[in-house]
Amino acid sequence: MKAIIWTKYGPPEGLQLRDVQKPVPKAHEVLVRVHATTVTAGDCEVRSLKMPLMLGLPVRLYAGLYRPKRLTILGQELSGVIEAVGENISKFKAGDAVFGTPGFSMGAYAEYACVSLKPDAGVLAFKADKISFEEAAALPVGGFEALHFLRAANLQNGERILINGAGGSIGTIAVQLARHYRAEVSAVDSADKLELLRSLGAQHLIDYTREDFTARGETYDVIFDVVGKSHFTRSMEILNPGGRYLLGNPRVASMLRGALMSKDSTKKVITATSTYNEEDLLTLQELVASGVIKIVIDRRYPLEETADAHSYVESGQKKGHVVIKVTK
């Protein structure tokens, strides 16, 4: 089968198209013929190891100290059709259309991928006919994170939420979920993404290249920093009493300060990321099928151009999701 092999840490050129052996599912695995996968900012961070040391070191120790060995195929979202199932799998069968994530084992940048359904591993759900394979592939990671953080914030009707980094895969879904919860949404991103965010329901738009949202004199009930680049102290200052500061990509210092701040203030800092489960996958799919959430797909690339897709995502221009079309 064809697959994109991760040959070295560093730039996208380390992703190379090769012929490799088709995997065979183990007892708790299903083999999926991949129709579509995605490139997320997280995929790029893993590939390049451009991440905080507390995350980068475990990745290197797991994947390979000097170059990737144990983990050689990236890709954490997929949709497709089940080709075969392991002996301990009873819920799914060959021919079922599914979508989900293989979890930290990744492997979606290939024509076929095995997904472990053991606890704390991957998760799959049946794909509804109402959504395409491309939409389904783009839903899990951004959807899980957006749903998790807005639930953790207990976002209420009429509350004011600011979403920093609103134009990406997590942010575009978070904007729509927040409007679904009837919150008043302010979206922060670059100028070229603001009209998209308006079309998704954001009432207030802020171009971060021209102004600092912490210096506008506005206060919020919830701040969701998807990209983890907001100024911690100034952001806390513009939270209303009882406000919640959601850190989607927290640094160690922010996590420690947040833990201390949450003990001595009515304002809370929430840093724990989501866990993957089938129930939330199905909830997100229903929101897409019913029109509450629109999956924004910026660009589509064939499997052999996955390295180019990584370069585009790293450029910061991505609006919503970038999809890799595996099955032609």
Q: Give the C-alpha distances (Å, rounded to integers) separating 17 from 1, 22, 108, 117.
A: 10, 14, 13, 27
pTM for this model (two decimals): 0.94
Q: What is the pLDDT of residues 28-37, one digit of tens each?
A: 999 999 999 9
CA distance linking residue 28 with residue 89, whole number of Å:
6
CA neighbours within 13 Å on the CB side: how many for 257? 12
CA distance linking residue 246 with residue 243, whole number of Å:
10
Calculate what percentage of the chain has a pLDDT beyond 70.
Answer: 95
Tokens read off for 100:
């989900």
Tokens read off for 213:
């949202």
Tokens read off for 210:
């021209």
How large is the greatest C-alpha to C-alpha distance in the chain, in angstroms? 60
Mean pLDDT across 41-63: 84
Instruction: Tell me which CATH homologous superfamily contains domain 2-138+295-325.
Output: Medium-chain alcohol dehydrogenases, catalytic domain (3.90.180.10)
**pLDDT for the residue numbered 263:** 59
Mean pLDDT across 284-296: 97
Domain chopping of the chain, boundaries = 2-138+295-325, 141-270
Q: Output the CATH code of domain 141-270.
A: 3.40.50.720
Tokens read off for 95:
């021919």
Between 266 and 78, name the one with better pLDDT: 78
Q: What is the pLDDT of residues 82-133, one digit of tens each?
A: 999 999 999 999 999 999 999 989 999 999 999 999 988 999 999 999 999 9
**pLDDT for the residue numbered 233:** 92
**pLDDT for the residue numbered 251:** 56
Q: What is the pLDDT of residues 41-50, one digit of tens each?
A: 999 999 998 8
Lowest mean pLDDT among 144-153, 164-173, 227-236: 227-236
> Concatenated DSSP letters for 250-285?
--HHHHHHHHHHHHHSS-EEE-------HHHHHHHH
